[in-house]
Structure 1
């Protein structure tokens, strides 16, 4: 019985690795609709030094515009880590038809979910 409960719990709550994989898939697809599912209720988005805090619905519009202007070719993680306070971070590379962006994400565990708190795109 305990094994069944453990299996059910593992299936019910996504792990950090699953979340990171799904975020990477959304980035590769250039899907603001999918990426926003992994964002906190308020998310800081910084594109080439211009930063602002957005609600999830506003962030989806900003990300959709970014992906439309920079159609994806690929996305790969370069580095992942965490702080002593439990904040996770990733550094990735988003390539598009005209170049590439370095992408830094700060991810917090909120409840049982890992959610993007900050998303920073810097043109390489």
Structure 2
């Protein structure tokens, strides 16, 4: 009886852990979506890893968190958001969460790709791309 009770408790704990991880991934994607929607590099910076890959129109560069914030600030200044929607979100085979979105600014449309990484203590943006369609 104790064996069955122990297995049930372990199973419940595992389900709660998986549910909580999924919630944390979804929460950061929602927060990043809102920051992009408003064109706020300051808000996005709250979710950037210490080192982040930023791609703008096919030009990928690795930046520190602070540098990436300034690069995104400049992008939003030159391309203020009209709208932003998440088109798809999921996780890679390795379990890294990602989101793909559509960013519209002044009639231009950009495909946005955000890859998120578990840093151990929280989920942070590892890569963000804005590629003009």
Residue 120 of structure 1: how far off its partner (Å): 1.1
How far, CA to CA, are the matches of 1:57 and 1:84 in structure 2?
30
Aligned to 1:24: 33
Aligned to 2:100: 91
Structure 1 residue runs without a partner (length 5+)? 1-5
2:63 to 36, 54, 57: 54
Structure scoring higher RCO (CA < 8 A, sep ≥ 6) equals 1
Higher strand share: 1
2:130 to 107, 121, 124: 121
Residue 41 of structure 1: how far off its partner (Å): 0.4
Give the TM-score, by structure 1 length.
0.85
Structure 2 residue runs without a partner (length 5+)? 1-15
Residue 112 of structure 1: how far off its partner (Å): 3.0
Q: How many residues align?
A: 113
> Which 4+ runs in 1 deviate beyond 4 A?
none
Higher helix share: 2
How far, CA to CA, are the matches of 1:83 and 1:16 in structure 2?
13
Asked if 1 retains the 8 angstrom alpha-carbon contact of 2:81 and 2:103, the reply is: yes
Question: What is the alpha-carbon root mean square deviation over aligned residues?
Answer: 1.5
* DSSP-derived class of the 2:46 partner: helix
How far, CA to CA, are the matches of 1:105 and 1:77 in structure 2?
10
Q: Say which one has the larger Rg.
A: 2
Give the TM-score, by structure 2 length.
0.80
How far, CA to CA, are the matches of 1:106 and 1:55 in structure 2?
16
* DSSP-derived class of the 1:72 partner: coil
